[in-house]
Chains A and B, each alone.
Chain A
């Protein structure tokens, strides 16, 4: 079970509290986790990745185990701790611009 922390605005949009827990098919990567989140919460499509290019939105960042993994390839395996559910995959909106 993968744990995901959404930023507050996206929690509100998806109408969830706290962490989201997902069953991800196949290896846990940025892409597979985001695919799973968007399938469960379709209103989040386009809010973390561009609809067409699937590139991360510039003011959104991904963290895991204390590291900023935003620039890692989307198909690179996430850390074991995230894949096993002991650490969350964290999605953060930039604290910029008010």
Chain B
């Protein structure tokens, strides 16, 4: 029978939750990296035992951790004597080093002044679809890095940050972060990324050059209604079988593109609020999407204290509330942008983690939910691996 492994990043460590295909009984492992913020944990689709984690703290900075045994044990890559060695015979230990290519320059700050580009942390790790040693990292201040040696060293794909619009990019409340990376399974040269609060960008040449893909987005706080950048895109999602169709949860508005981001239209429809963070797509139904509405940009909790996932089976516009098993009173948690994921079992399982420390799972495409765990530290990210 297939198994499921849920990788949970929290404010105080990472947790690995495992179950068989019934998804009824769960084993909980952790906390790994206790006391550290684990922004993201994700496994390689090529080798599911290869998992990467972003471990970060304001005190001690960024650590990259790697597991080669499905999350049981972890090691910073390149810090064992038999790994990459420098000329003096000592391990190079560059797995934590994220250095911008060239002179970093400046971007817009909260107050409209120009502010130096400064690395703070890795927000998102996206393993290659074809090589377990290649991983893309989205970082704050927004940039894209890549490793091709299993995390031992990282190099910037600086064509993105050096885009003409770079000096106009500015941070959202959580920092200027590159938080989403989508790899096109049918075209290895195409990637789409999203930055708060610059917008979405796409490359069609493997990361050398990029173009903003924000036409059709409207953000009321930007004076220019046709601004090329400056949109606070919270998340974008794609079904692997339809890479031209992208879904977006923005700072207000749920959007859809049918041309790989060249143009967008709003599909918020009958949502009670079109503000939220995560968005994801059913593993087998490319037109079925999920969001978690929250009240507003100043009140980040479910409308009326009722935690509800909303599902559209029509690619947007028509939404239904999913409530069975979710708290419908006095619930004021939030679900962050990287904290929702799906498995590829039948029926498709949906998972999300909350800032209140719960991780909920549905084994029936969202019709009903149960908590896997209730009392973790605030959840920052959820990823799911479907294992043979």
Residues of A within 8 A of B (CB): 7-10, 12-13, 38-48, 51-52, 57, 59-60, 93-94, 97
Assuming the contacts A9-B57, A97-B58, asked whether A43 and B90 have C-beta atoms less than 8 A apart, the reply is no
Interface of chain B, main secondary structure:
loop
B63: A residues at CB distance < 8 A = 13, 43, 47
Supply 21 A–B pairs (Cβ within 8 Å), ascending by A. A9-B35, A9-B36, A9-B57, A9-B60, A13-B60, A13-B63, A13-B76, A38-B93, A39-B88, A42-B76, A42-B78, A42-B79, A44-B93, A45-B94, A45-B97, A47-B63, A51-B98, A57-B60, A57-B61, A59-B58, A59-B59
B97 contacts A51, C-beta separation under 8 Å: yes
B91 contacts A42, C-beta separation under 8 Å: yes
Classify chain B: how many residues form its interface, as a range: 20 to 34
A94 contacts B59, C-beta separation under 8 Å: yes
B99: A residues at CB distance < 8 A = 51-52
B90: A residues at CB distance < 8 A = 39-40, 42
Interface residue? B96 (CB, 8 A)? yes
A45: B residues at CB distance < 8 A = 93-94, 96-97
Assuming the contacts A9-B35, A9-B36, A52-B99, asked whether A42 and B92 have C-beta atoms less than 8 A apart, the reply is yes
Given the complex of chains A and B, what is the CA–CA distance between A52 and B62 in angstroms? 14
Given the complex of chains A and B, what is the CA–CA distance between A60 and B59 in angstroms? 6
Given the complex of chains A and B, what is the CA–CA distance between A46 and B56 in angstroms? 11
Given the complex of chains A and B, what is the CA–CA distance between A40 and B98 in angstroms? 21
B96 contacts A43, C-beta separation under 8 Å: yes
Since A42-B92, A44-B93, A93-B59 are in contact, a sample of 6 more A-B pairs with Cβ atoms closer than 8 Å, ordered by chain A residue number, is: A9-B36, A13-B63, A38-B93, A42-B76, A46-B62, A48-B60
B57: A residues at CB distance < 8 A = 9
Given the complex of chains A and B, what is the CA–CA distance between A47 and B60 in angstroms? 4
A51 contacts B96, C-beta separation under 8 Å: yes
- Give B339 Cβ to nearest chain A Cβ, in Å: 21
Assuming the contacts A57-B60, A60-B59, A97-B58, asked whether A46 and B35 have C-beta atoms less than 8 A apart, the reply is no
B59 contacts A42, C-beta separation under 8 Å: no
B97 contacts A57, C-beta separation under 8 Å: no
Given the complex of chains A and B, what is the CA–CA distance between A13 and B97 in angstroms? 16
B34: A residues at CB distance < 8 A = 12
Given the complex of chains A and B, what is the CA–CA distance between A42 and B76 in angstroms? 9
- Give A23 Cβ to nearest chain B Cβ, in Å: 14
Given the complex of chains A and B, what is the CA–CA distance between A12 and B34 in angstroms? 9
